[in-house]
Amino acid sequence: MQRAILIVASLLMSLGISSSPSLAEITGRASVVDGDTIEIRHERIRLFGIDAPEGKQRCYIKGKSWRCGQHSAFALADLIGRAWVRCIEKDRDRYGRIVAVCFLGQKNVNAWMVREGWAVAYRHFSRDYIAEERESSAAKRGLWQGEFIMPWDWRRGKRLAATQEQRQPQRRCLIKGNINRSGQRIYHVPGGEYYNRTRINTSKGERWFCTEAEAQAAGWRRSRR
Ordered DSSP codes for 61-85: ETTEEE-HHHHHHHHHHHHHTT-EE
Query: Choosing from 46, 58, 115, 207, which is the catalytic residue?
Result: 46
Query: Mean pLDDT per 10-residue run, the chain (225 residues)?
Result: 44 42 85 96 96 95 92 96 96 91 97 98 95 96 96 92 49 85 91 89 86 89 89
Cα 177 to Cα 164: distance, rounded to the nearest angstrom: 13
Query: Choosing from 44, 92, 97, 222, which is the catalytic residue?
Result: 97
Task: Respond yes or no: is residue 214 known to be catalytic.
Answer: no
Of 218, 61, 21, 221, nearest in space to 141 by CA = 61
Task: Respond yes or no: is residue 221 known to be catalytic.
Answer: no
Residue at 153: amino acid letter = D
Tell me if residue 178 falls in helix, strand or coil: strand
Query: Choosing from 54, 116, 132, 133, which is the catalytic residue?
Result: 54
Task: Respond yes or no: is residue 199 known to be catalytic.
Answer: no
Boundaries of every domain in the chain? 2-155, 164-222
Domain 2-155 class? mainly beta
